[in-house]
Amino acid sequence: MTTESPRWFKSSFSENGGQCIEAAANLAASRGVVPVRDSKRPTGPVLMLSVDAFAGLVSIARSAEL
């Protein structure tokens, strides 16, 4: 069992007035998940995404016309 803690990061493209998420991709290899949370609520709920689901989320975000 691993006791590795999430290392949260925001995208360098997240300077949009605070509407961002943080992810902890460091857990992908050891646990097979990528935790995601609202950057404004660091003690709030965390969504645990599979690696494939997180990759899909990133793909959709990159292709979206904002």
Helix/strand/coil for 1: coil
Give the residue with greater pLDDT, 11 vs 4.
Answer: 4
CA distance 42 to 19: 13
Q: How many CA atoms lie within 13 A of 61 on its CB side?
A: 11
Q: Is the pTM of this model over 0.75?
A: yes
Tokens representing residue 2 in the block:
């691993």
Q: How confident is the model at residue 34 (pLDDT cuts 50, 70, 90)?
A: very high
Tell me the pLDDT of the chain averaged across its residues.
Answer: 86
What confidence tens digit (pLDDT) does each residue in 40-57 have? 898 999 999 999 999 999
CA 23 to CA 5: how far, in whole Å?
Answer: 12
Mean pLDDT to the nearest integer, 24-46: 93
Q: Is 8 exposed, middle or buried (0-12, 13-18, 19+ CB in 10 A)?
A: middle
